[in-house]
Amino acid sequence: MKIGILQETHPGETRIAFAPKTVEKLVQMRCTVFFEPGAGLRSSFPDSEYLSAGATKAGRTDLLSDCDLVAAIHPLSDADLTRIKPDGVVLGLYQPYNDPDIEARVGRFPLVHVLSLDMMPRTTIAQSMDVLSSMASIAGYQAVLAGAALLPRYFPMLITAAGSIPPAKVLVLGAGVAGLQAIATARRLGATVEAFDTRAAAKEEVLSLGAKFVEVEGAVDDRGAGGYAVQQSEEFLARQRAEVQARASKSDVVICTAQVRGRKAPILLTAETVGQMRPGSVVVDLAASTGGNCELTQDGQTVSVNGVTILGNSHLAARQPADASTLLGNNILNLLKLFVDKNGQAAFDWNHDILRAIRIGKADAAAS
Ligand code: NAD
């Protein structure tokens, strides 16, 4: 199988679909790998590392038309999709939950198989292929580093000759993959941490990381939602907002990660609550791209309201592009291992549960 790694064209993207270490493994699997010159530079991977890993340079047009599988993080343009050869496979994050038109757009290329990695099912077998978890973990880590850098105080408790400094107080809203990594990172930096989540299973995980779990009675049961959170009632959210207010007003940093797939993020931190936070406090909102957990979040911007800094950024994984690309590529590699034989040839079984879940743009994915 010929695999092509494309240069990302999306502004601000620093990651790449495969890091050189993953390319080495693809070559060991007897796949032939091509890459666009300079594609890895923004992730800190020079062309020489791809060449040493066994890949070959190719121009974009040749790569698109000649490869059996083409990998790029962001959706390919129509002009690029037009060039893909019949039965070619295109891999990336097409996010049909956030872009309602994407399925119809890629559906206009019926001979191309588009695999949207963000649609990976939450099953045990698919865990090692879960790109969203890989990126969420980095985002949670980066959120704490960003919060610590903006805070005009220390995170750890310090006892110095000049006086004592108490530990920073961090509040984490949403204890999924990103939230748990934020808790772990804030704890490693010495902060005291409290966290909210609606999933019953989150409590034990939060406690095991040395944080306090704040319980709000009456959350809707999420079992049966395939590992995803479910929409909560307005009455529950109102009670939760009151609890959040009581704690946020005493916190130095609030990390927002609460999301419900396919919906606007729940507002948990109101403008009134921000008004009660101490000047110098920081809100880092990872839910910004779906509206944010903070009422005052502006996606892609850092704003200051009454001395509180609010950073709205759902793409913090791009701040750590080398690791992000390595994990992303390994996730894709684990997917390909299911379908590539010992001679490096791929036979995609379109009826396989995982491919049925991630293939988009086909009216009847199983039949075609
Ligand atoms: P997510 O990104 O969908 O949501 C983030 C968190 O926000 C979730 O924990 C959710 O419960 C929480 N949330 C939603 N509404 C809330 C509210 N009103 N208040 C407080 N919190 C709220 O979640 P995620 O990070 O993808 O992970 C969710 C769970 O799924 C985790 O247990 C994770 O380990 C699991 N998971 C399993 C697999 C797999 O088995 N393959 C893959 C990914 C995630």
- 232 in ligand 1 pocket by Cβ < 6 Å? yes
Tokens of 155: 């995170």
For residue 335, give the nearest of 1, 53, 37 by alpha carbon.
1
* Confidence at residue 232, expressed as pLDDT on a 0 to 100 scale: 82
Among candidate residues 146, 143, 223, the one with its CA nearest the CA of residue 183: 143
Residues of the chain with pLDDT below 70 are: 221-227, 363-368
- Which of 120, 197, 241, 243 to probe ligand 1 with, by most ligand atoms within 8 A of CB? 197
- Tokens representing 253 are 């940093």
Q: Is the CB of 131 under 6 A from ligand 1?
A: no
**Closest ligand 1 atom, CA of 258?**
7
Residue 121 CB less than 6 A away from ligand 1: no
Q: What is the pLDDT of residue 117?
A: 98
CB distance 205 to ligand 1 below 6 Å: no
120 lines ligand 1 (CB under 6 A): no
Q: Report which protein residue has its CA nearest ligand 1's atom 39.
A: 122
Q: Using CB atoms within 10 Å of the CB of residue 120, give its burial: 0 to 12 exposed, 13 to 18 middle, 19+ buried.
A: buried
Backbone dihedral angles phi then psi of residue 92, each to the nearest 5 degrees: 180, -170
Report CA(23)–ligand 1 centroid distance (Å).
Answer: 31
Atom of ligand 1 nearest to the CA of 236: 18
Q: Which of 82, 47, 51, 53 lies closest to 65 in space, CA to CA? A: 82
Q: What residues act catalytically?
A: 122, 127, 130, 133, 228
* Atom 13 (ligand 1) nearest CA: 258
122 lines ligand 1 (CB under 6 A): yes
Among 127, 171, 183, 199, say which to mutate for ligand 1: greatest number of ligand atoms within 8 Å of CB.
199
Atom 42 (ligand 1): residue with closest C-alpha?
A: 122
Nearest Cα neighbor of 71 from 344, 108, 80 is: 80
Give the pLDDT of residue 227: 64
94, 102 contact by CB (below 8 A)? yes
Cα-to-centroid distance, 226 and ligand 1 (Å)? 10
What is the rounded CA–CA span in Å between residue 275 and residue 245?
10
Q: C-alpha dihedral over 87, 93, 94, 97, to 10 degrees?
A: 140
Looking from the CA of residue 237, the nearest atom of ligand 1 is: 18
Is 171 near ligand 1, meaning CB less than 6 Å away? Answer: no
How far, in Å, from the CA of 174 to the mean position of ligand 1? 7
The pTM score is: 0.94
**140 C-beta closer than 6 A to ligand 1:** no
CA of 147 to the centre of ligand 1 (A): 21
Beta-carbon-side half-sphere exposure of residue 208 (alpha carbons within 13 Å): 8
